[in-house]
């Protein structure tokens, strides 16, 4: 029931996630943060069962930090996405994590980037992406209104259109969303 969305703009990458933590027909809380900060310029939005989501995200977060300390060099977003995809594929053969991910980051040489990953270990660089039941409603909206090189206000406007579409058409009520925007200056967080 998780909903995660992401898009790449002119000089930023934006991720949005619902704030509900639910299982079956019960909602446990409405203040869950499903977007993990991996370092000062990289985030990972996660969807899946709570235990898998938290354990895998913390595992990736700690390993990215470990790489930085061992090599005195931070991973690029592409490097972190490839490492994460490889870990998903490895765990798929051992004890699989049922997590779907959007990894977003800003690198000085490359600029903003967004990587789509699913629980089977596939990965693709995208301009916009969505996971969860909400993707059935939001991908068509993103496809229609997304333009490469959108400024920040246009990106926020598009995400608000997606959220309105969900609140209007989706059977399950998702009243709160969190948004994390990654730019060259770092990560900013806001409620939508």
Q: Find the distance separating the first CA and the last CA of the chain, reported in whole Å.
A: 18
- Confidence (pLDDT) at 10: 92
- Confidence (pLDDT) at 29: 78
- Confidence (pLDDT) at 167: 87
- Confidence (pLDDT) at 113: 96
Lowest mean pLDDT among 1-5, 43-47, 74-78, 150-154: 1-5
Model confidence pLDDT, tens digit, residues 80-128:
999 999 999 999 998 899 999 999 999 999 999 999 999 999 999 999 9
For the segment 52-58, the average pLDDT, to the nearest whole number, is 94
For the segment 121-149, the average pLDDT, to the nearest whole number, is 93
Helix (H, G, I), strand (E, B) or coil at 148: coil
Q: Round to whole Å and give the CA distance between 79 and 74.
A: 9
**Residues near 170 by Cβ (< 8 Å), separated by ≥ 6?**
133, 134, 137
- Confidence (pLDDT) at 170: 79
Model confidence pLDDT, tens digit, residues 19-51:
877 777 777 777 889 999 999 999 999 999 988
- Confidence (pLDDT) at 20: 78
State the alpha helices, DSSP H only, in 29-76. 50-71
- Confidence (pLDDT) at 121: 92
- Confidence (pLDDT) at 171: 76
Beta strands across the sheet bearing 128-131: 128-131, 4-8, 13-18, 177-183, 186-191
Q: Is pLDDT of 65 > 90? A: yes
Q: Round to whole Å and give the CA distance between 103 and 81.
A: 7
Output the pTM of the full model.
0.93
Model confidence pLDDT, tens digit, residues 144-190:
999 999 999 999 999 999 999 998 887 777 778 999 999 999 999 98
State the alpha helices, DSSP H only, in 102-151. 135-145
């Amino acid at each position: 029931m998780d909903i995660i969305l992401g898009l790449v703009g002119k000089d930023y990458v934006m991720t949005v996630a619902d704030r509900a933590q639910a299982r079956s027909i019960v909602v446990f809380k409405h203040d869950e943060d499903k977007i993990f900060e991996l370092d000062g310029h990289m985030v990972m939005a996660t969807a899946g069962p709570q235990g898998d989501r938290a354990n895998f995200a913390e595992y990736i977060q700690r390993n990215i930090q470990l790489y930085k300390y061992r090599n005195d060099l931070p991973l690029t977003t592409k490097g972190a996405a490839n490492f994460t995809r490889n870990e998903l594929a490895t765990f798929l053969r051992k004890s699989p994590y049922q997590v779907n991910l959007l990894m977003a980051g800003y690198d000085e040489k490359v600029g903003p980037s967004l990587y789509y990953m699913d629980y089977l270990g596939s990965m693709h660089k995208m301009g916009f992406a969505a996971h969860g039941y909400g993707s059935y409603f939001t991908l068509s909206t993103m496809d229609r209104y997304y333009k490469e090189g959108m400024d920040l206000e246009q990106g926020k406007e598009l995400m608000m259109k997606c959220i309105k579409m969900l609140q209007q058409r989706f059977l399950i009520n998702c009243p709160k969303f969190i948004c994390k925007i990654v730019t060259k200056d770092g990560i900013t967080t806001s409620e939508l």
